[in-house]
Amino acid sequence: MKIAFIGLGNMGGPMALNLHKAGHTLSAFDLSKDACAKFAADGLPIAASAAATLEGAEVVVSMLPASAHVEGLYLGSNGQPGILEQIAPGTLVIDSSTIAAATSRKVAEAAAKRGVAVIDAPVSGGTGGAIAGTLTFMVGGSEADLERARPVLEKMGANIFHAGAAGAGQTAKICNNMLLGILMIGTSEAIALGVANGLDPKVLSEIMRRSSGGNWALEKYNPLPGVMDTAPASKNYAGGFGTDLMLKDLGLAQENAAAVRASTPLGGLARNLYAAHSLAGHGALDFSSVIKLVQTKT
C-alpha cells in the first residue's frame, strides 16, 4: 500500500518506520529537518514537502502536535491552502494526533465533501509502544472506514477500539490522558512520601504495584529515577511524553468538560499542577518529572 506519512516526532517517526518495515511504500515528511534526517538514516523515504507525500497515496497518516497544526495541514491557514485540496477522492486519511474532537469533526466534514474518508485515531502506549508496534488506537469514524484502516493500524498497534463517530476517538483519548495525568501525580506523591520516611522506593513501588494502589505508572513508567531502567525517569526524563503535551491534553479535557458541563475537579487540579511544573522550566521533560513538584528537598 502507498502511504503518505506526515509528522515524524517521538511517536510518528517510529510508527512510520513500522509501516515501512512491514512492506508498505511510504513517503514521509516533517517540518523538522533533523527529524527527517534521523529517519532517513533508518531507511525511511523522505519527501520535500507534505504535499509531495501525496503522489499516488492510497492512505494518508498524520501525527501532529495540536489542533492548529492538523487544521492548518488539511484545511489551510494564513491564506495558504491545505493539502485536502490535493488528496485524491477515495483516499483514506488517518489522523493519529491528539486534538480537540471538534477539530476532528471539522476536518472529516470538509473531507467528506471531497470524497475523502477521515478517521481520528489517537494513540496510547508512549514512545515504547510506538517503537514496539504495540500502541492502542482509539478510533472515531465509520465502521467501514475503520475496516479499511485496520491493515495499516495493525502494523503500528496491538489494540484497536472503535469509540464511535467522528471525534469519538479524540474524546476517548482525552478521558484516558486526564486519568493518566491524575494517576501520575498521585503515584508521585505516594512515592515521594515513602522516600521522605526513609523507605526504599523500589520496595515501596513493588508493594503498591501488587496492592490496591497498582496502576500503569507503577507497572510501566515509574516517575522516580533509578527504580525502573526503561522509564524516562531513569534517562533524565528525556524522550517519552512531554510535560507540555500532557498539559495540552489536560487543557483539551477541561475545554470539553466545560462544553458538556461535566464535573472534573481532579482533572482541573492536575492541569494546574502540570502548568506550574511547566512554568518552572520543565515543559520539555517527560510528564513523569511532575514528581519534582512533590519531592522533599534535601
Backbone angles phi, psi at 184, to 5 degrees: -65, -40
CA distances from 235 to 30, 226, 278, 296 (A): 25, 9, 19, 21
To the query of whether residue 2 is one of the catalytic residues in this protein, the response is no
Nearest to 50 by CA among 5, 95, 90: 5
CA distances from 47 to 3, 10, 109 (A): 12, 19, 27
Which of 2, 33, 155, 173 is catalytic? The answer is: 173
253-15-216 Cα angle (round to 5) = 50
CB burial of residue 64 (10 Å; 0-12, 13-18, 19+): buried
Residue that is written with C-alpha cell 517519552 in the block = 240
Residues in contact with 207: Cβ distance below 8 Å, sequence separation at least 6, in sequence order: none
Catalytic residues: 173
